[in-house]
Structure 1
Amino acid sequence: MTYSLPRQLSSLLLATSILLWSCESFAPRPPPQRKVIVTGAAGRTGKLVFSSLLKQANFYPMGLVKSEKSAKKIIKDNAECGLENVWICDVTKLDSDNEGSLPNGIRGSDAMIICTSAVPKLRKRHLAKALLKAPINMLAGKKPLDFKTLQFYFAPGQHPEKVDYEGQIAQIDLAKKLGVSHVVLVSSMGGTNPDDFLNTLGKDKDGNGDGDILVWKRKAERYLVESGLQYTIIHPGHLKDTPGGLSELWLDVDDNIMMSPSHHMMSRCDVARLCVASLKVSGGQSSSFDCINIDVPEGTKSRPTEIALIEFLDAETTYDYSTDRKLDYSMNI
C-alpha cells in the first residue's frame, strides 16, 4: 500500500521550499576575498603585513618565502595560516615569461605587496676592534662607538643591485603577467640623496663594493611608476620593532621629513598597517610618500592609519621623480 501527502500539505511544502530558495538567492553575500601576494613574507616587516592580512576576512594572502624553514615558522606563528597560504620560491629568480617557474597559488591575485630588501651584515671583526677602542674614545671626549664607522657587507648574491633592483623588477613584471591591479612597494626614505649613509653600506673605505642600496631601490621605484600599474610606494624612516597605533603618522614627499629635527623613526607595525590601508582606501589612485612616527599632542588621540592615508591622498601631493636622472648620472649607473 502506498501513501501520499494531502494535496494541500504538498502545496504548502512546495511553497515553503521556493520561499527558502528565494531568500538564499537574494540575501546579501559577503564580498569576495581579495587574493594578495606578499613577497618577503618571512622578513621582519613582511611577516607583519602577512599576519595582518590573514586576520581580515576580506583578504586572502599568499606569502612567498625563500626556504622551507621560513614557511614552517610562518605557519607555526599564525593560527589562521594553512599550507595553501605559503609558497617557497626565490623572487629574484622568478621568470614571468616561464609559466613553469611560477607558483600555482598566486594566479588570480588582485594585489601584490613587495617587502623584499637586501640586508647588510656587520663585519664582526671590525666591530670587535671598535669595541676595544670605545674606552679610549670616551677618555678623549668622543662617542664610544660611532655606528657610521662600522663596516657592513652583503651575502653573496644578496646585494642591493640583485635584490632591490633586479629582484623587484622581476616581481613587478610578474605582477603585470598575472594581471595584478595594485602593487604596494615598501622602500626606504632618503632616496633623493646619493650621499646618504645607507648607500655606503657594503662598500670599503675607498668606496668600492656592492652598495648604493637607496639608489637601486629608487631605480626600482621608477620602474614601477612607469609600469602602468597602480602603485603605492612607502618610504619609512628608521624602522623600529615597536607596537603600532601608539603614535601619530607624518606622511610627506621628497624626503622633506629628513630636513626636520624629528627622530625619523617608524614602527614596522605601522608600516604594515599602511600597506593594508593602501589596499582599502586608495581606490584607483597611485601614491608615493615618506612616513615616520611623531608624538601625539597631549590630550589628543592618533588618527587611525586609514584616515591618515585618506587625508594624504586627498591633498594630492605627488612625489617628484624627475630629479632621478641627475641621481643616476652622479652615481655613474
Structure 2
Amino acid sequence: MALKQVLVTGATGRTGALVLQKLLQHPEEFNAFGFARSQAKAQDLFGSVDRFFFGDITAKDTLTAALEGCHCLVILTSATPRMKAPPAPGERPEFEFEPGGMPEAVDYQGQINQIDAAIAAGVQHIVLVGSMGGTQENHPLNKLGQGNILIWKRKAEAYLIDAGIGSGVDYTIIRAGGLLDQPGGVRELLVGKDDVLLTQAPNGIAPSIPRADVAEVVVQALRCPTAKNKAFDVISKPENDATAIVTTDFAPLFAQTTPDL
C-alpha cells in the first residue's frame, strides 16, 4: 500500500485534532501533517510542533509549503463566533466574530484558498468537513454574529465540486450534525442529503454525532474508493439504541451516498 501524505487544516480544533491524531496512529498508511495558526496551541495539544505547518488560510501563500508533496487535503477550518459580553439576566447572549474572521472570509474565501492551493500542488483528493443546515437560511447558526456561516460553508462546498470536476481532483464532502464530545465507535451512523436528517431523522432521534465518529468518517473516506466524489450529511443513532448496528464497515455506508450537493 502506497503511503499517503495528508495535510489536515484546522488541526488544533476539537475535531481537527482528533483527525490528525487518528492519522498519526497509522504511520504505515499515512504521512500526516497539521496546519494551524497557533504554535502554542499545537504544542499544548500534541506535545510537539514537528508535524505542523503554521499560517493563515485567508493568506493563500502560507499554504504552499504545507501542501508540497501532499496526496490528500482534509479541510477542518471554520469561523468561530464568540460571545460579546455576558448577557444581562433574562437576555439572550449576543455573538460576534473576531476581526478578519467572518464566515465569508474563513468558511468561503478561506476554503477557496485551500482548494485552489491544493489543486495547484497536485493534491489528488480533498475531504471537506462542513455542517448540516446549509439549505436552511433561517437556521439559528446563521444568525450568530449575522455571519450566515452555514450558507457560506455550502457555497464553498459547491466551489469544491465544480473545481474538482474541472481539475480531475476527487472530493468528499462530509456535513456533520450537531457535534458531541462523546466517545466514538459505539453508534450506528446514518447518512442523508439536503438536511433531511435535521427534520426527518428516524424515530425522531437528535441530528447529532460525536466528533470522534466524524474523525473516523474522515479517515475511512481517505481509505475507501466509494467515498470519492460524494457529498453527504451524517448523524448517529444514540449510544445503546436497541435498533442500532454499530458502524464498523464504512464501504456500505459510503455506498449509500451520492455525488453533488
Q: Give, in angstroms, the shift of residue 259 of structure 1.
A: 1.5
| 1:64 and 2:35 aligned | yes
Superposed CA offset, 1:214-273 (max 9, x none): 111011000000012211111111111111011110111111101223211111000100
> Partners in 1 of 2:228 and 2:66 — Cα distance?
27
For 1:61, the aligned partner's letter is: A
Q: 1:82 to 1:283 in 2, by over 3 A?
A: farther
TM-score w.r.t. structure 2 length? Answer: 0.90
> Partners in 2 of 1:184 and 1:283 — Cα distance?
13
Alignment of 1:95-110 (within 5 A): 95=61, 101-102=62-63, 104-110=65-71
Partner of residue 98, structure 1: none
Partner of residue 57, structure 2: 91
Question: Is the strand fraction higher in 1 or 2?
Answer: 2
For 2:81, the aligned partner's letter is: P
> Partners in 2 of 1:273 and 1:195 — Cα distance?
30
Q: Aligned Cα RMSD in Å?
A: 1.9
| 1:117 and 2:83 aligned | no
> Contact 2:42–2:49 at 8 Å: present in 1 too?
no
What percentage of residue pairs aligned between the two structures are identical?
37
Q: Which has the higher contact order (CA 8 A, sep 6+)?
A: 2
SS in 1 for 2:247: coil
5+ residue gaps, structure 2, are none
Partner of residue 46, structure 2: 75
> Contact 1:71–1:88 at 8 Å: present in 2 too?
no
> Contact 1:71–1:87 at 8 Å: present in 2 too?
no
The equivalent position to 1:47 in structure 2, one of 14, 17, 28, is 17
Q: Give, in angstroms, the shift of residue 82 of structure 1.
A: 6.2
> Contact 2:39–2:49 at 8 Å: present in 1 too?
no
Superposed CA offset, 1:266-319 (max 9, x none): 110001000000010135831111111103543864021xx2x42233235345
For 1:123, the aligned partner's letter is: K
> Partners in 1 of 2:244 and 2:107 — Cα distance?
39
Partner of residue 36, structure 1: 6
Partner of residue 137, structure 1: none
For 1:191, the aligned partner's letter is: G
Q: 1:284 to 1:75 in 2, by over 3 A?
A: closer
SS in 1 for 2:86: helix
SS in 2 for 1:290: strand
Partner of residue 194, structure 2: 254
SS in 2 for 1:227: helix
TM-score w.r.t. structure 1 length? Answer: 0.71
> Contact 2:79–2:103 at 8 Å: present in 1 too?
yes
Partner of residue 328, structure 1: none
For 2:232, the aligned partner's letter is: F
Partner of residue 176, structure 2: 236
The equivalent position to 2:247 in structure 1, one of 278, 284, 303, is 303
SS in 2 for 1:202: helix
Q: 1:317 to 1:152 in 2, by over 3 A?
A: same
> Contact 1:253–1:318 at 8 Å: present in 2 too?
no
Larger Rg: 1
Partner of residue 150, structure 2: 214
